Amino acid sequence: MSKKLNTNLSSVVALLNDGDYHDGTTMGDQLGITRSGVWKVIKKLENYGVKLDSIKGKGYAMLEPLILLDPKKIKKQLYANIDLVCFESVSSTNDYFAIKPFSRAIKVCLAEQQTEGKGRMGRKWHSPFAQNIYLSCLYPFQKDISELAGLSLVTSLAIVDAINQHGVSGAKVKWPNDIVYDNKKLSGTLIEVAAEAHGISYATIGIGINVNMVEDKKEISQSWTSLRKILNQYIDRNELCISLINNLLTYLQRFEAKGFEVFVNEWMQKDSLMKRAIALKVGNQTIEGKVVGINEQGHLLLKLKDGSTRAFSSGDTSIIKDA
């Protein structure tokens, strides 16, 4: 079940953001809603996992600041006029587009929480409420599906650029779909494509970025980090969404016009695996080798133990620690 972002929720959070205690009646008066309306919002926040304290006679206080997504603010600062939808909760922002009829417009879906966030290789993507970015962009390409091979790499480059604009230097791409910092995962991309006749393809580009998540999560098996962990400060996700969407559109337009080859150099500069000994998992097989770059289709070039170099179009990479 999906829920659009509720204005009462945003207004209550805005009041509680000063960290002080607020009682239900006063908040209700300030917001023009009933005391029981306020109580419902408080319960909802608690169900979403937001930490609140309550003291009899004083009311409720939020233990940490919480800046919710503000779709109006985001839309105002985008270069292009795109359809933007924002959910309080949705199964998966990628799946939201799977049930929509195709249209030639570019669309973006954001959510505060995903109940069934999907990662690559059938993994789950942990998606706690209001902490990270969960974004999908439906992009119609005037290209055949076979020409979209480098799309996930181009998306990764756009994400690194957006992250760098927010004060992180040192975030790198990890073939094929990850952004890492200090070899810990910061962001991942899941792309799903569908084709229409006459060379039109639709890509749903799903991006997850760990932004303000700091607590250890047993649900996450990979070693991970977040922008807040790196910068040691709380990040306004609206600002990051604006740079992310603007960057993504710029990179996608260039990819559509020029193909992947114009991105090869930029990839090499931001590559975390270059010259590293890695293991590549393809299906049941694991291949070890040294990364020597990527080719013009975005395939990974591995120098194998027998001295030959082979290109791989898919797989999961991991650095061999003791190599």
The residues that touch ligand BTN, with contacts defined as CB under 6 A, are 92-94, 114, 117-120, 123, 125, 134-136, 177-178, 188-190, 206-208
Smallest CA-to-CA distance from 131 within 220, 245, 57, 236 is with 236
Smallest CA-to-CA distance from 188 within 285, 84, 94 is with 94
Minimum CB–partner distance for residue 98 and ligand BTN (Å): 10
Strand order from edge to edge, sheet including 316-319:
309-312, 300-303, 285-294, 277-282, 316-319
Minimum CB–partner distance for residue 321 and ligand BTN (Å): 21
Task: Please identify, using beta-carbon distances, which residue of 120 and 143 lies nearer to ligand BTN.
Answer: 120
The answer to whether the beta carbons of residues 241 and 74 sit under 8 Å apart is yes
Q: CA-to-CA distance for 149 and 9, rounded, in angstroms?
A: 41
Minimum CB–partner distance for residue 194 and ligand BTN (Å): 16
Task: Please identify, using beta-carbon distances, which residue of 70 and 192 lies nearer to ligand BTN.
Answer: 192
Task: Please identify, using beta-carbon distances, which residue of 44 and 118 lies nearer to ligand BTN.
Answer: 118
Minimum CB–partner distance for residue 157 and ligand BTN (Å): 16
Minimum CB–partner distance for residue 121 and ligand BTN (Å): 7
Task: Please identify, using beta-carbon distances, which residue of 201 and 317 lies nearer to ligand BTN.
Answer: 317
The answer to whether the beta carbons of residues 237 and 211 sit under 8 Å apart is yes
Report the run of H or E that residue 175 belongs to, with start and end: none
Mark 124-136 as b/e (b = at least 16 C-beta within 10 Å). Answer: ebbbbbbbbbbbb
Task: Please identify, using beta-carbon distances, which residue of 208 and 289 lies nearer to ligand BTN.
Answer: 208
